Amino acid sequence: MEIEIRSPKSEVEWEQYYSLRYRILRQPWNQPRGSERNEGDEIGLHFALYENEILKAIARLDINDEKSAQVRFMAVETEIQRKGYGKQVMLAIENYCKSISISEIVLHAREIAIPFYESLDYQLVEKSHLLFNEIQHHLMSKKV
């Protein structure tokens, strides 16, 4: 079993990346295709976990300033959630942040994902936005 975490390389890999993001984070709330993308995709750093060359989990990292970054669009294929793939992506992001002297990572977690991030030592800061008028998010942070 070969695990590789990297940015998508080919047009096909990018399509798979955005398809996973759409299916997990937008489609269940009847959002239109295209809603899984935003202007930050051009400058964000994309992390994709491939197992035996099959995409399993993704996230985007936005560098906020010289000391902080934000994780966005974290998604793991539904049938393999809670199997450690998301954790591997988050650890790769943290290691990358340490390598470029980023000292704090923030994110806006869906309520259902708070225990996952807490298990990785992220601290709950405050309630943040309500996505699609139904998905409560919470600001979380971690010093790395």
Is the full-model pTM beyond 0.85? yes
- Residue linked to tokens 């060359």: 53
- Residue linked to tokens 């990785």: 120
In angstroms, rounded to a whole number, what is the distance separating the alpha carbons of residues 105 and 142? 5
pLDDT in tens, 36-54: 999 999 999 999 999 999 9
* Per-residue pLDDT, 126: 87
* Per-residue pLDDT, 37: 96
* Per-residue pLDDT, 132: 78
* Per-residue pLDDT, 143: 97
Could you tell me which of 66, 75, 92, 67 has the C-alpha nearest to residue 3? Answer: 92
pLDDT in tens, 79-99: 999 999 999 999 999 999 999
Domain boundaries, the chain: 3-103
* Per-residue pLDDT, 133: 74
* Per-residue pLDDT, 80: 94
* Per-residue pLDDT, 9: 96
* Per-residue pLDDT, 25: 95
Residues of the chain with pLDDT under 70: none
In angstroms, rounded to a whole number, what is the distance separating the alpha carbons of residues 116 and 133? 23
In angstroms, rounded to a whole number, what is the distance separating the alpha carbons of residues 7 and 60? 10
Asked if the 3-103 domain carries CATH number 3.40.630.30, the reply is yes
